[in-house]
Structure 1
Amino acid sequence: MSQGCHEHVRIAIVTESFLPTLNGVTTSVCRVLDCLAAQGGHEVLVVCPGPAPSNYLGFAVKTVPSVTVRAFRVGLPTKQLEQILLQFAPDVVHAASPFGLGARALAAARNLAIPSVAIYQTDMPSYVAQHGGVLGDFAHRTSWRWVRHLHSLADLTLAPSSAATAELAEHGVPRVALWGRGVDTSQFDATLKADPQVAVLRRRLAPNGEVIVGYVGRLAPEKELHRLEEIADLPGISIAIVGEGPDRDDLERLLPNAHFLGRQEGATLARSYASFDVFVHTGTKETFGQTLQEAMASGLPVVAPAAGGPLDIVKPGVTGLLFDPSAPGALRRSVGSLVADEAMRERMGASAVRKVADRSWAGMTDKLLDYYGHVTRPAWARAA
């Protein structure tokens, strides 16, 4: 069904993260809201941890009490949520990356007989295992039990990649379908490579004409950035890292010659992508890999682990290279081959632009509205 052909819908989006916090969940929610606003006619209420803006593009934002855990604002799953949903009376509840607040929303939706869609975005069991210390394995198993329980409350779970879909099915999560993520090709654009500000940044990052190998994302254990040590002494490269997080100090010690550019957004972020020659991603537990799409739209060949979300995004030998994360030196060999071959970089970068050209957020939001339509039809029956 094409954009604009959907009936107007009342949607309650309950999200574990929203502005001013910037991460993948916030970005996805905001892009969906952008597209819903552009279509017009839809009524949307956003429920999120406070503090947050009171509205977004004219859509009301309702905050719930929150606490800070490891620098994240975490919404408290109180009974207030059921009252909010009862008062708004949505056609569908959209739970964005549910874990605590979203789980409460899905339970409330079931109690109130409101159809619901859960968006699986964060591999929380792996995140918990990595932060769980000696209790890591136990925490991982417990987290999967929780994920299975909360997603069983939803009428439909949407996973962003075939790897994530298979993993959810393997852990007994019912009613799973595939819903990818869009990329803003008007913001992330290979033509920015000719921007004078990009030229200035390139001279700063690579004063001697080095090949710039860049990373964008959170600087945290689950991103496995320690793997970059493999390429730190590759001759003729300059490593540039965009992002902030709890691992920054450790990474600065591990990679003393890397350029740490801090957290960026908007045009500044787009220019940073455009200044890179190669994009590298190191995490093996990504359910999707949005920065890979942004890098590809920026005309970059990408190097990523042959695991999880990147398997759907990167076409090896065409738009980039996938390395075996269990093989020592595999990342170094992949990056090194691109560093040594400018023609290959240019060929893959051009292919990458073509690959993501049709992955607009408008199209993804249209598909999401189709899924809303599935669960709100009277004939839809939630399987046991």
Structure 2
Amino acid sequence: MDVSELRIALFSGNYNYVRDGANQALNRLVGYLLKRGAEVRVYAPVVENPAFPATGDLVGIPALPIPGRAEYRIPLMLSPQARRDLHRFKPNLIHVSAPEILGHSAVSFARRNKLPVIASVHTRFETYPRYYGLAFLEPTVTALLRRFYRRCDAIVAPSDSMAQLLREQRMNYDVGIWSRGVDREIFAPEKRSMEWRRGLGLADSDVAIGFVGRLVMEKGLDVFADTIDELERRGVRHRILVVGEGPAREWFERRLPNAVFAGFQAGPDLGRAVASMDMLFNPSVTETFGNVTLEAMACGLPVVAAIATGSESLVSEGLTGRLVRPGAISGFADALENYITDPHQRAAAGQAGAKAADRYSWDAINGALASTYLRIVRQRQGGGGPPRRSPVP
């Protein structure tokens, strides 16, 4: 069996209606599989004006806006039309990308029809409650995630550190890696534009600390702002450049009144924006990989990040950046101050990061996942059964 014999039904709660690193990775994966001759059908919510065109055939799934976060939608169970389409498509593998209602429905469909299932893990959902004053729910959410992932034949994580965490959390007994790649035609040191910086009011001598991502609290915006307050108390001269949009923008603007907000950027514009920073500060602990961290490294920036899944697999402490205990404001400020005041260290870390980013080729990464697909399908064809239900402690 080879890739051209795969018939994959992919289930996603957000395939293209809001742009983020996870759904861009899924679209790249589908493009790769189609080029290799596989057949792929995507089941996901659709909207009138999606953030970007979908790659491959997309079958709409009913969904409701999330209260308070209307830009996101909660996909519901498989509709009768989607079920009929699934039966006509006759997949030989199910891929689920999120543990929501649609994901549960897809896993149940697979088990009823004796189909293998792979789940990709894109974010640390169990950490979200802590950003909304509900940290006491974290053990419950972790247990629910474990119940979901143990019903799958295998799960894949985007980094070694995330895979190890999933093993420690006993999410599944077959944990593999589906990493992320970076487009070096977009993200590269030579994309830096002093003219673009000047247009935003940044002087050539300004040292710009960058933030890149959706402006939502779970990205660590509070830690970012508190750290900048500490730099200001120390009298360390710097500028802040924020790239991204989101529901917390107004809050972030109030907390950082002197920051430059460049708004949403994509494609070559995003590459230019990242390369025009002087360092990236990523305090988030919710990412499982950290696309923005890799993109910043590819642009030749040192990265100051929290010791968290994803970042600790990408950033080499003291070589390509600094890793700091999550929430340690003084530690983050120390690391940033070091790069602000020492241009030679800043340049050396950036050069090391750009070299390290060369290892991340999209075709090699997606090819590795295709190999995992084939292994799981062969295991089932060889007589391996679906995962047994196991008690969740």
Equivalence for 1:147? 145
Task: Note closer, same or farther for the CA distance 1:98–1:28 as it changes in structure 2 (3 Å cut).
Answer: farther
Equivalence for 2:154? 156
Q: CA deviation at 1:208?
A: 5.8
| Structure 1, 307-316 or 178-187: larger mean CA deviation | 178-187
- What secondary structure sits across from 1:147 in the alignment? helix
1:11-90 to structure 2, matched below 5 A, reads: 11-37=8-34, 39-51=35-47, 56-57=54-55, 59-69=56-66, 70-71=69-70, 72-80=72-80, 81-90=82-91
* In 2: Cα distance, 1:48 partner to 1:227 partner: 33
- What secondary structure sits across from 2:105 in the alignment? helix
CA contact under 8 A between 2:151 and 2:387: conserved in structure 1? no
* In 1: Cα distance, 2:145 partner to 2:85 partner: 24
Q: CA deviation at 1:339?
A: 0.7
| Structure 1, 94-103 or 77-86: larger mean CA deviation | 77-86
2:228 counterpart of 1:227: no
CA contact under 8 A between 2:3 and 2:33: conserved in structure 1? no
Q: CA deviation at 1:238?
A: 0.9
Letter in 1 for 2:11: V
2:125 counterpart of 1:124: yes
Q: CA deviation at 1:55?
A: 7.5
Q: CA deviation at 1:239?
A: 0.4
Equivalence for 2:343? 342
CA contact under 8 A between 1:231 and 1:331: conserved in structure 2? no
* In 1: Cα distance, 2:332 partner to 2:343 partner: 18
Q: CA deviation at 1:341?
A: 1.2
* In 2: Cα distance, 1:177 partner to 1:60 partner: 27
The C-alpha deviation readout for 1:66-88, integer Å capped at 9, x for no partner, is 11102312211235344332221
Task: Note closer, same or farther for the CA distance 1:383–1:113 as it changes in structure 2 (3 Å cut).
Answer: closer
- What secondary structure sits across from 2:196 in the alignment? helix
- What secondary structure sits across from 2:57 in the alignment? strand
Equivalence for 1:370? 371
2:145 counterpart of 1:136: no
The C-alpha deviation readout for 1:108-155, integer Å capped at 9, x for no partner, is 111111111100111112113433x3x431x32222222111111211
2:287 counterpart of 1:286: yes
* In 2: Cα distance, 1:21 partner to 1:86 partner: 28
* In 2: Cα distance, 1:338 partner to 1:55 partner: 39
Letter in 2 for 1:190: P
* In 2: Cα distance, 1:120 partner to 1:222 partner: 17
The size of the alignment, in residue pairs, is 371
Q: CA deviation at 1:296?
A: 0.7
The C-alpha deviation readout for 1:60-105, integer Å capped at 9, x for no partner, is 1101111110231221123534433222111211112332212211
- What secondary structure sits across from 1:246 in the alignment? coil
Q: CA deviation at 1:310?
A: 0.7
Task: Note closer, same or farther for the CA distance 1:141–1:83 as it changes in structure 2 (3 Å cut).
Answer: farther
RMSD of the TM alignment (CA)? 2.0
The C-alpha deviation readout for 1:236-258, integer Å capped at 9, x for no partner, is 31100111122111111111000
| Structure 1, 208-217 or 292-301: larger mean CA deviation | 208-217
TM-score, normalising length: structure 1:
0.91
Q: CA deviation at 1:382?
A: 4.4
Equivalence for 2:391? none
Task: Note closer, same or farther for the CA distance 1:64–1:270 as it changes in structure 2 (3 Å cut).
Answer: same
Tell me which of 171, 179, 187 is aligned to 1:173: 171
2:93 counterpart of 1:92: yes
* In 1: Cα distance, 2:149 partner to 2:83 partner: 18
* In 2: Cα distance, 1:15 partner to 1:302 partner: 30
Task: Note closer, same or farther for the CA distance 1:49–1:128 as it changes in structure 2 (3 Å cut).
Answer: farther
Equivalence for 2:207? 211
Q: CA deviation at 1:200?
A: 1.5
- What secondary structure sits across from 1:329 in the alignment? helix
The C-alpha deviation readout for 1:184-211, integer Å capped at 9, x for no partner, is 2222122212xxxx22122234226210
Identity in percent: 30
The C-alpha deviation readout for 1:202-234, integer Å capped at 9, x for no partner, is 223422621011110111111111222322425
Q: CA deviation at 1:265?
A: 0.9
Task: Note closer, same or farther for the CA distance 1:315–1:16 as it changes in structure 2 (3 Å cut).
Answer: same
Equivalence for 1:187? 186
Equivalence for 2:265? 264
Q: CA deviation at 1:366?
A: 0.1
* In 2: Cα distance, 1:303 partner to 1:94 partner: 34
* In 2: Cα distance, 1:342 partner to 1:270 partner: 22
Listed as ranges, the gaps of 5+ residues in structure 2 are: 389-393
TM-score, normalising length: structure 2:
0.89
